[in-house]
Amino acid sequence: MSNASIDTKPPKILLVKLSSLGDVLHNLPIVWDLRTRLPDAQIDWVVEEGYVHLLTPLLSKNGFKGIDRIIPFGLRRWKKNLLQLSTWKEFFAFKKQLQKVSYDILIETQGLLKSAIVCSLAKKSSNAVIAGLANATEFSGYEPIARSFYNQSVQVPIQCHAVDRSRWVMSSALDWPLLERSSAPQFYSPEYIQSLKLPAKLVSEQLLAPYVLCFHSTAREAKRWPNSDWIALGKELSSRGYQVVLPWGNVAEQAVSREIAAQIPNALVPPAFSIEDAFGVIAGAALAVGVDTGLTHLAAVLNKPTVEIYCDSPLWKTEGYWSKNIRNVGDIQKPPTVAQVLEAASELLP
């Protein structure tokens, strides 16, 4: 696609980043990057249905221009029910939604076969650019077969932060100079962040300000910080007048939250809450402390005071570098000490 064809009419752009929570969050800045430079473009996004709530704050409405269409993708659920007629009806309904628009530019920043296939299913203009990753980055999933679905494969550094990687692919797709970190990434609007409120159901659960959220759970056990360290951190925060709140996502994580909370004065194990509720819970916190997991990254992109703990994943891959409200401690196979986390927390707490 020539630059002239982009300049003569607003392009129709499809973003494909399906999952997971942190990956979707770190892809958000390219919406703002695109909208700043192409204010009249149509920007649609295909995402796993479980993460739609991460994108709804960016929907275009009431004079705000963000994402024009969110197209939910139910692959995780469909794979469990492949033999059911309803699954195939939903798939063809998804395909119909996807093909309502003929896209000029498709930006696929996941590098997996499933996301590349979404690109192949999309309707495209005759000279459409289909841009995706040409290579893997360390410690990230990548399937080389995905390259066969692109007509523009973008080489990125082997060690490349998730935000920078998305911007790299986008810049190549539009033939723009690479956006450097000096152009600070934006995730959500300040107005949206200021509008967030704590869900009423959690107010009734004795959640008291000021509170500190401790996100101890993560999908991979090696990325966890020891329970004994969480207890030591919690006791110190409690002694300073903060309520320690220990969210959870499943029964096993709930048991760990209860085990830790039992040894911290006035600690709270809240009821389960959704991703949608998490925005308000995080917004009301004095501080979030968490391992390398989605909810920790949500706190960081909401510009809340956040301490990110790295134990068995590389700091360079997802560290919060865009705000003075974020501290990153530890690194791959170098978990931080309680003293280091406390020092970082103390720098952020009032």
pLDDT digits (tens, 9 = 90+) for 196-216: 998 887 776 677 789 999 999
At 2 the pLDDT is 41
At 205 the pLDDT is 64
Asked whether 146 and 190 are in contact (CB, 8 A), the reply is no
Dmax (CA) of the chain: 65
Neighbours of 74 (CB within 10 A): 16
Beta strand residue intervals within the chain, DSSP E: 12-16, 42-48, 69-73, 102-108, 123-133, 152-154, 211-215, 243-245, 287-291, 306-310, 326-330
Domain with CATH 3.40.50.2000 in the chain: 3-187, 192-348
Give the residue ranges of the chain where pLDDT is below 70.
Answer: 1-7, 204-205
At 7 the pLDDT is 53
Cα(178)–Cα(281) distance, rounded to whole angstroms?
35
Cα(275)–Cα(263) distance, rounded to whole angstroms?
27
Cα(307)–Cα(328) distance, rounded to whole angstroms?
6
The torsion angles phi and psi of 119, rounded to 5 degrees, stand at -60, -40
What CATH number belongs to 3-187? 3.40.50.2000
Cα(189)–Cα(15) distance, rounded to whole angstroms?
19
Which CA distances in Å does 132 have to 219, 256, 302?
26, 39, 27
Q: Which fold has domain 192-348?
A: Rossmann fold (3.40.50)
CA 129, distance to chain mean position in Å, is: 25
pTM of the predicted protein model: 0.94
- CA within 13 Å, CB half, 184: 10
Cα(110)–Cα(249) distance, rounded to whole angstroms?
25
Q: Which residues contact 346 (CB under 8 A, 6 or more apart)?
A: none
